[in-house]
Amino acid sequence: LSTLAADPAASEKLLIAARLESRDAHAGLVLTGDQIVTSRATRDALMREFPDGVCIDMETAALAQVAQQNGVPWTALRVISDSADESFDLRKVMGLGVSTAAKLFESIIQTVADDL
């Protein structure tokens, strides 16, 4: 079990850009594991053990670990596409993720363009 801290400045810029698209954008602890969580019981157990967790995924920790090992500042943006329970529907998730990500990336590019 380890915690890998994201770059605060990059994370703040990403959050500002995300909030241009959605007021529901949150910053916080991402719980990363080696399997898709499709059980309410598993999700609830994880959230009890890690009450600061804002979402569960399978990728963020790998990105963070490689970045930190190479001295590269990192941050992550996750589009929440399901409730991590029995209602998981891969086709619905993929459709939502693609359309939402496109809008978010446009906001991000507009927000950080002055820094490039």
Structure tokens at 57: 């995924």
Digit-coded pLDDT (tens) for 37-47: 888 899 999 99
Q: Above 90 in pLDDT, residue 5?
A: yes
Is 3 part of a structural domain of the chain? no
Query: If pLDDT is split at 50, 70 and 90, which confidence band does 8 have?
Result: very high
Digit-coded pLDDT (tens) for 55-112: 888 899 999 999 999 999 999 988 776 566 666 666 776 666 677 778 878 877 887 7
- Give phi and psi for 15, each to the nearest 5: -65, -40
Digit-coded pLDDT (tens) for 21-37: 878 888 999 999 888 88
Domain that holds residue 61: 8-115
Output the domain CATH number for residue 83.
Answer: 3.40.50.1580
Is 1 part of a structural domain of the chain? no
Is 31 part of a structural domain of the chain? yes
Is 68 part of a structural domain of the chain? yes
Is 48 part of a structural domain of the chain? yes
Strand 53-57 relative to strand 29-32, pairing: parallel
The predicted pLDDT at position 33 comes to: 87
The predicted pLDDT at position 45 comes to: 95
Give the span between the Cα atoms of 102 and 34, in whole angstroms.
26
pTM of the model: 0.72
- If one counts the domains in the chain, the total is 1
